[in-house]
């Protein structure tokens, strides 16, 4: 099939209409991946024909998207904090909502050589973004899933942030340092019964990265409880959570002895992370 750039975009967008709520953006992202050019190329050369192999690859990608696969899995990449992260089905796909956690961490009054721990790092998005902004911070990142640790190491290498220590640990089990100035985490926090788990991209992400018992609070509470033993005096705990979990999490943090407990909203004005 002879397809031009604009023809391919129009065709794919119309197929995706009703299946994806970002149909034309999805088409663009897939086509750019296939032709390996900057976005401006799509508008500068709309009438250029695609090579037969490019048409073939584009059709395969489109078929995956039509089956519901997340665009990040199809192209193998997702941008977070303006950095490119490799992604695969072994971890959560980094969300823009989580950028508020990175921004909050960067605004804390921490020393130049602060020690920072990211629990359940997945792709490494939080830890590597922090290390990218603060070269002197000593950042550690753990995940209990071996494949996630491997993926975070790939991202660490791609982003040339070899100073970040990435290793396998079930929350704090293999952590041997006890004086972190900041512990951050975006743990699984969705209620196992939540109906949004059967819709959209989450269907293709690991349950272990999304859901937790106790209406989603089990890991948040476990981390909050254990973190007290791993924080330096005056250290901070910063947790991402669901938009309806802020009040209960704040109460828990206060009960556990955290001070100056406060919730930060994301760019969509939802309660998104809580600091203590
Ligand atoms: N915020 C994500 C969602 O609702 C979930 C992230 C997480 O479980 N840590 O899809």
Give the mean pLDDT of 27-41: 96
Question: How many whole angstroms separate alpha carbon 258 and alpha carbon 236?
Answer: 9
Structure tokens that stand for 163 in this block: 């100073």
Residue nearest to atom 10 of ligand 1 (CA): 202
Give the mean pLDDT of 161-179: 97
In the reported structure, the alpha carbon of residue 94 is separated from the centroid of ligand 1 by a whole-number distance in angstroms of 9
Give the mean pLDDT of 135-159: 98
Give the mean pLDDT of 56-68: 97
For a ligand 1 pocket test, name from 91, 92, 101, 267 the mutation site with the most ligand atoms within 8 angstroms of its C-beta. Answer: 92
Question: How many whole angstroms separate alpha carbon 100 and alpha carbon 263?
Answer: 11
Give the mean pLDDT of 179-196: 97
Decide if pLDDT at 171 tops 90: yes
| pLDDT interval class at 266 (50, 70, 90) | very high
In the reported structure, the alpha carbon of residue 36 is separated from the centroid of ligand 1 by a whole-number distance in angstroms of 30
Structure tokens that stand for 246 in this block: 């802020």
pLDDT of residue 1: 62
In the reported structure, the alpha carbon of residue 188 is separated from the centroid of ligand 1 by a whole-number distance in angstroms of 7
Task: Specify whether the CB–CB gap between 242 and 189 falls below 8 A.
Answer: yes
Pocket of ligand 1 contains residue 208 by CB under 6 Å: no
Q: First-to-last CA distance in the chain?
A: 59
Structure tokens that stand for 4 in this block: 């031009």
Give the mean pLDDT of 266-276: 96
Give the mean pLDDT of 53-73: 97
CA distances from 270 to 130, 136, 180, 240, 266 (A): 22, 32, 28, 11, 5
Structure tokens that stand for 190 in this block: 């969705």
For 145, half-sphere exposure in the C-beta direction (CA atoms, 13 angstrom radius) is 19
For a ligand 1 pocket test, name from 95, 118, 201 the mutation site with the most ligand atoms within 8 angstroms of its C-beta. Answer: 95
pLDDT of residue 144: 98
Pocket of ligand 1 contains residue 190 by CB under 6 Å: yes
| pLDDT interval class at 84 (50, 70, 90) | very high
For a ligand 1 pocket test, name from 191, 210, 218, 238 the mutation site with the most ligand atoms within 8 angstroms of its C-beta. Answer: 210
pLDDT of residue 230: 98
pLDDT of residue 2: 82
- Which residue's structure tokens are 């089905």? 89
Q: Which domains does the chain have, with CATH numbers?
A: 5-68 (1.10.8.10), 89-275 (3.40.50.150)
Give the mean pLDDT of 40-58: 96
Burial (CB count within 10 angstroms: exposed 0-12, middle 13-18, buried 19+), residue 174: exposed
Question: How many whole angstroms separate alpha carbon 29 and alpha carbon 23?
Answer: 10
When the pLDDT of each residue in the chain is averaged and rounded to a whole number, the result is 97
Q: Indicate the pairing of strand 77-80 with strand 83-86.
A: antiparallel
């Amino acid at each position: 099939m002879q397809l031009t750039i604009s023809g391919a975009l129009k065709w794919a967008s119309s197929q995706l209409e009703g299946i994806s709520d970002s149909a034309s953006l999805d088409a663009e992202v897939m086509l750019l991946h296939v032709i390996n050019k900057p976005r401006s190329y799509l508008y500068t050369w709309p009438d250029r024909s695609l090579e037969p192999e490019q048409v073939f690859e584009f059709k395969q990608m489109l078929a995956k998207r039509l089956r519901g696969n997340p665009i990040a899995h199809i192209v193998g990449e997702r941008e977070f904090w303006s950095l490119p992260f490799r992604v695969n089905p072994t971890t959560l796909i980094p969300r823009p909502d989580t950028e508020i956690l990175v921004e909050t961490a960067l605004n804390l009054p921490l020393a130049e050589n602060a020690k920072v721990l990211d629990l359940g790092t997945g792709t490494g998005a939080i830890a590597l973004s922090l290390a990218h902004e603060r070269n002197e911070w000593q950042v550690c990142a753990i995940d209990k899933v071996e494949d996630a640790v491997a993926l975070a190491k790939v991202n660490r290498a791609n982003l040339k942030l070899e100073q970040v220590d990435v290793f396998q640990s079930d929350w704090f089990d293999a952590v041997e340092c006890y004086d972190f100035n900041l512990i951050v985490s975006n743990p699984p926090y969705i209620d196992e019964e939540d109906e949004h788990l059967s819709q959209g991209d989450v269907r293709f992400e690991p349950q272990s990265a999304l859901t937790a018992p106790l209406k989603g609070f089990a890991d948040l509470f476990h981390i909050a409880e254990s973190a007290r033993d791993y924080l330096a005096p005056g250290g901070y705990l910063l947790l991402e959570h669901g938009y309806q979990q802020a009040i209960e999490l704040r109460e828990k943090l206060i009960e556990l002895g955290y001070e100056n407990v406060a919730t930060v909203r994301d760019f969509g004005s939802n309660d998104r992370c809580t600091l203590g």
